Amino acid sequence: MLKEYIETGFGIGEDLSCSETILYGANKVWDLGLDKNALKMAAGLSAGCYTENICGALTAGIMVLSRLYVEDRAHESSYNGELVEELIKTYREEMGSELCTPLKDKYRTEEEKCRPVIIRAAEVLDRIVKREGIPSRN
């Protein structure tokens, strides 16, 4: 699924950021139907929203969950809120934080950049989507 797609090198040759790699990859893997303009929305999430706050790969994962499981509006879908909470909590437990700065300090290298962080975000997202399934398109 998404993790495997990213592990094959997706995002490197395309010169995508952490958030872009997750959203663009999910769009391809799960056929989210997002066009080029919609995909651009992930750009501002990079590097913890450029403040090294919440991980861009994780926030893009939240965008994917919302695309898959929200019918119209957030407040009409408590189910999505539960999945978002699960994504963040699981990621935090597995990685030690959901914040960009500690994640970069612990996992980022010059050779791989933030690939380990991106791959783990994809893995956690994969588990949720696999369990919940892909709903028919909204």
The residues, any chain, with a CB within 8 Å of residue 72's CB and separated by 6 or more, are 138
Identify the domain containing residue 63 by its residue range. Answer: 2-132
The count of structural domains within the chain is 1
Comparing 42-51, 59-68, 129-138, the range with the smallest average pLDDT is 129-138
Between CA 39 and CA 50 the distance in angstroms is 18
At residue 137 the predicted structure's pLDDT band, cuts being 50, 70 and 90, is low
Q: How does pLDDT run across 4-19, given as a tens digit for each residue?
A: 999 999 999 999 999 9
Q: How does pLDDT run across 43-62, given as a tens digit for each residue?
A: 999 988 988 899 999 999 99
Residue 26 forms part of a structural domain: yes
The residues, any chain, with a CB within 8 Å of residue 118's CB and separated by 6 or more, are 6, 11, 18, 21, 22, 57
Residue 86 predicted with pLDDT over 90: yes
Predicted model pTM: 0.94
Residue 137 forms part of a structural domain: no
Residue 138 forms part of a structural domain: no
